[in-house]
Every structure is written in C-alpha cells, then in structure tokens.
Structure 1
Amino acid sequence: MNRTMITAQNTLTQLQKQMDIVSNNMANIDTTGYKRREANFTDLLVQQFNNQTRPNAEGNRLTPNGVRVGVGAKLGQSQLVMTQGSLKTTDRPLDLAFTTTGQYFRVLEQGENGSAVRYTRDGAFYLTPLSQNETMLVTGDGYPVLDENNNPITITGDVKEFKVTEQGRLIATMNNGSTSEFNLGISLIKKPQFLEQKGGNLLGLPENFEELNTPVEDILTEMSGPLRNQIAIQQGALEQSNVDMAKEMTELINLQRSYQFQSRSISIADQMMGLVNGIR
C-alpha cells in the first residue's frame, strides 16, 4: 500500500505544477504578445519484477517479461508554444506587431544585479524624457528599447510623427523637417526552450547558461544586415496572446479529474491498510 501512496503523491506534486502553468496561461490571456506554455509528462523510475523463472517458456510473447511497476509521473518539459497570435489594430504609431513567428524585440532590463538583454513580443512602446530636448524609446514597464547594436534608442528634438517600416526601421520626423532613423534590435529565437521567463512578459537566457555548453548562435540570431529583409512588422497594431480559453478550460477540467483520481488512490490505500491492521 505504501507504494500506491508514494506513486499517487509523486504524481500529485507534478499535477500541481501543470495546474500552475495552465493558470498562468489563463491569467495572461489579455497580455500583449504572450506565448502560452504547454506541459509534457514523462514516467519516473520503473521497477521490474520477473515473475517467470523460466524465460524460455515464454514462447511467442509480444510484451516484455515480468511486471513493470512505476512510481508516478513527472513534469518533463514546460514547452513554449510559438504560434502567432491575432493582431489588434490600434492606429497608434508606436504600437508594433510581428506578423511572423519567432521574432522578438530586444530590450534592456535594469535590475538589482545589473542590466541584461531581454526579449519580448510586446510592441507597445512609449517615449520617456531624458532631458529638455531628448527622449528615449521604452516599453510599458520603462525598459529601454535597443537598436541593432544593442544601444538604447534616444531621440533628440521635438518629434512630429513616427514611421516604422516592415523591416523594423524607425523613422522619426521632427517639427523642423529633419529625421532620425534607427534599426530596431530584433532577434530570431530558434530554440525557445533554452529561454526562461524573467517576469514582465520578458524572456532571457538562464543564469546557468554557461553550464549548458550550447552556443548562443544555436538558440537565437540577431537579425542585422541581410537578415533584416526577413523581418515582418506591422505598425499601428498589437499582437494578442495565443491563449485559447476554451482549450485551457478543458485542460484544467482534465487536470482536476486527474487530481481527484490520485487523491482517491491515497484514500483507498489508507482504508485498505486500516483493514489489514484491524485483522486480529
């Protein structure tokens, strides 16, 4: 009976992690550029009991010999789903949306441990003043938006209008007729599973990245030079999250049923142990 309880308990802890992932998806259904995560499960260790003392007597057997008993399931991977979200037209000049998958803006997150480059699909940008005649392009949380050289985009002068080309070139026209042009810093994420969620709708490389022995070039590519022709941006629009509420609710119901089943297994095992211990 102890094995039954251990198996159920192991599975319950992993189901709780999956429930947290589903809940996070549902909570971010209205988050601009959010990408849902999907949990995949694998088996824990399996112990085999060989109940056949003469394996040669198992003629024409198609299944493995013996009885294989597992100890539960574990969350094998939390996979980032990169499918394109729907576009919402805003007609706001500094609202930008990617029209293809895998491309992310580069921003500079400034925290307690210093600054680091992060990646986001949220293209709702704003201007924040630096001085009387200078402004900086930032995200909704105030993080500087970077150009293709990973420098913050600063604009000098009174801006009359903004124009962003499909290839990610920002053109600011001043009141005096002069222009300032910048190439937005954009990266192509090829292996998103190597990235971690850093909060605030940002992705970044893990802190133990050096231990992974994986070149940065295998995970992402900075789109500069000829690669900028592959960038696809729409101005005056925002990408919505790719969370499907109906699908998440169905997954949540299945999770609840699985959770109840594992809990019931512990209750039944406890009752059976009570009956055995009560035998006189």
Structure 2
Amino acid sequence: MKALYIASTGMSAQERNVEVISNNIANMRTTGYKRQRAEFEDLLYQQITRAGAQSSAQGTNIPAGLEIGSGVRTVATPRVMSQGSVNMTDGELDVAVRGEGFFMVQLPDGRTAYTRDGSFQRSADGMLVNSNGYTINPGISIPGDANSVSISQDGIVSANIGTDSQPTQIGQLQLARFVNKAGLESLGDNMFIDTPASGPAQVGVPNTDGTGNLLQGYLEMSNVNSVTEIADLIAAQRAYEMNARVISGADQMMQSTSQLR
C-alpha cells in the first residue's frame, strides 16, 4: 500500500523540520545567529490517466487527469538574513553591523570567512581577532600602549597612543555583502563562506554601497523569535502525528484485507 511510504516521507520531512526548529531555539542567544527554515517539495507523481488524453472516439478529452503523488522531501534550509536586535555591551571592541554587511575573518587555511559576530578581542601581538583567535581582515594592529580605542560608524579605528591627547587612526574595518546572502555556507563558530550560489563578496567601507554602518559597544543578537519557533514546532508536531495516523490507518486497512483473504 503506497500510503505507508507516502506517509513515511511526511514523517521524515517533519522530523527534519523539528531538527531545524530545535537548532534555532538552541541558538536564541548566539551572537549574530541567523535562523533557518525548512522548505519542502512534493515528489514524483504516477500518471494513471493523463489530463487532456482522448476519452472517446469522438475526440473528447479528459478535463482532469488521475495522478498519485509519492510524498514530500525537504529540499532546502535557507537562512533568514534579517537584522537581529542590537544590544548594548559597553565592550570597547564589541561592534554591531546595522545593514547587510559581514565582517571578514582570515582562516588558518587561507580562506576568508564572513560573520555577523562582532565580539572582537586583542591578541597577544595586538592584532584584532574574533573569539576563536582568527585575524579580522584587513588586519588591524593595536599598539600595546594604545588606549581609548574607538571605532566610528564608517569603520575607522582610532586610539590614543601613549600620552598623546589626540587619537591616531590605526586601521579601517571593511564589510562584505553578497547578492544572495541565503546562499552562504555555514561553517559553525558564527562564520560563513561564500559559494557559487551566494556570489563573490563585494567588499567596501561601512556606510557605503548598502553595507551598513557600525555601532561600537553593541552586539547583534540572534534574529530568532521564540514565539514563532514554538508555533512552528507545534505545527510540525501535529503534521508528524497526522502522518503517523495515516500509517496506522493504512496498517488497519491492510489487516482487514488480510483477514478477508
């Protein structure tokens, strides 16, 4: 009975849906996290009677065909790249992006990763790094005797060196934006890499070309909405239960048929 297999694809799809939702909920407090959503598509159809087929010798056509579907599958889990809320931290090297831009991170293997997590720190040699110790690209070196580091909305990094009363520019943060942000590949650790689907990074200075501006002393929080996720979770659970009932109903029908035989 095909209903058993069709319903099983529904249960599998909703199981994947619950996994996506649970990951969103788990990352509700992850800095710069972008929620995912599961997207589905129906599977191949068995054409028993094709629409428009000739139904009589007089040349009349069937107005609607007879076709049976094979179920459903999860086709994608795109990220929703909407702006998350911006919370004050008062951290001197904490920076939030208001706009579409991503910070660039130099990975140990030479690749460039992209992140919305602006919780930066100073390494032992004075370089501006992320929480994993990876250098922010372009590299910015903060002198050991620098104090009162400031980061402007357009990414200019300045500091008072030694006893200087006037700040000195020590670097310039840049941001990258993409034609299709949902096409970025997740690496974990709050980082992404570009793919053919995302297109190449378009690098620019903050406050230009739609990259967005920067806020020092703030961090962008996750864009996960707890109420939406709980509602989606309940809907996924009910869909799973309904598919399970279809399997139970098909089993009872098969049992009745076997008893008749």
Q: Which residue of 1 aligns with 2:133?
A: 142
Counterpart of 1:272 in 2: which secondary structure? Answer: helix
Report deviation, 1:157.
2.9
Q: Which residue of 2 aligns with 1:105?
A: 103
Alpha-carbon distance in 2 for matches of 1:256, 1:229? 40
Report deviation, 1:109.
2.5
Alpha-carbon distance in 1 for matches of 2:66, 2:210? 58
Summarize the Cα distance change of 1:120–1:230 in structure 2 as closer, same or farther, 3 Å threshold: closer
Report deviation, 1:83.
1.2
Counterpart of 2:222 in 1: which secondary structure? Answer: coil
Alpha-carbon distance in 2 for matches of 1:195, 1:5? 36
Q: Which residue of 2 aligns with 1:170?
A: 157
Summarize the Cα distance change of 1:175–1:139 in structure 2 as closer, same or farther, 3 Å threshold: same
Q: Which residue of 2 aligns with 1:66?
A: 65
CA contact (8 A) 1:186 1:223 kept: yes
Alpha-carbon distance in 2 for matches of 1:196, 1:12? 27
Alpha-carbon distance in 1 for matches of 2:81, 2:222? 10
Unaligned ranges ≥5, structure 2 = none
Alpha-carbon distance in 2 for matches of 1:247, 1:240? 16
Q: Which residue of 2 aligns with 1:202?
A: 191
Q: 2:147 aligns with which of 141, 160, 165?
A: 160
Unaligned ranges ≥5, structure 1 = none
Report deviation, 1:239.
1.0
Q: Which residue of 2 aligns with 1:265?
A: 246
Q: Which residue of 1 aligns with 2:36?
A: 37
Report deviation, 1:180.
4.2
Give a deviation string over 1:26-50, Cα, whole Å, max 9, x none. 1111111111112221111112211
Query: Which AA in structure 1 matches 2:14?
Result: L
Alpha-carbon distance in 1 for matches of 2:113, 2:224? 22
Summarize the Cα distance change of 1:224–1:238 in structure 2 as closer, same or farther, 3 Å threshold: closer
Structure 1 position 28 matched with structure 2 position 27: yes
Alpha-carbon distance in 1 for matches of 2:102, 2:24? 19
Q: Which residue of 2 aligns with 1:77?
A: 76
CA contact (8 A) 1:167 1:228 kept: no
Summarize the Cα distance change of 1:271–1:16 in structure 2 as closer, same or farther, 3 Å threshold: same
Report deviation, 1:155.
2.5
Whose helix proportion is higher, 1 or 2? 1
Counterpart of 2:170 in 1: which secondary structure? Answer: strand
Report deviation, 1:226.
9.2
- RMSD after superposition: 2.3
Query: Which AA in structure 1 matches 2:93?
Result: L
Alpha-carbon distance in 2 for matches of 1:164, 1:229? 19
Counterpart of 2:142 in 1: which secondary structure? Answer: strand
Summarize the Cα distance change of 1:229–1:37 in structure 2 as closer, same or farther, 3 Å threshold: closer
Query: Which AA in structure 2 matches 1:164?
Result: I
Report deviation, 1:224.
4.5
Counterpart of 1:258 in 2: which secondary structure? Answer: helix
CA contact (8 A) 2:154 2:205 kept: no
Report deviation, 1:154.
2.3
Report deviation, 1:136.
1.4
Report deviation, 1:182.
1.1
Alpha-carbon distance in 1 for matches of 2:237, 2:48? 32
CA contact (8 A) 1:167 1:230 kept: no
Report deviation, 1:53.
6.0
Summarize the Cα distance change of 1:225–1:241 in structure 2 as closer, same or farther, 3 Å threshold: closer
Query: Which AA in structure 2 matches 1:235?
Result: Q
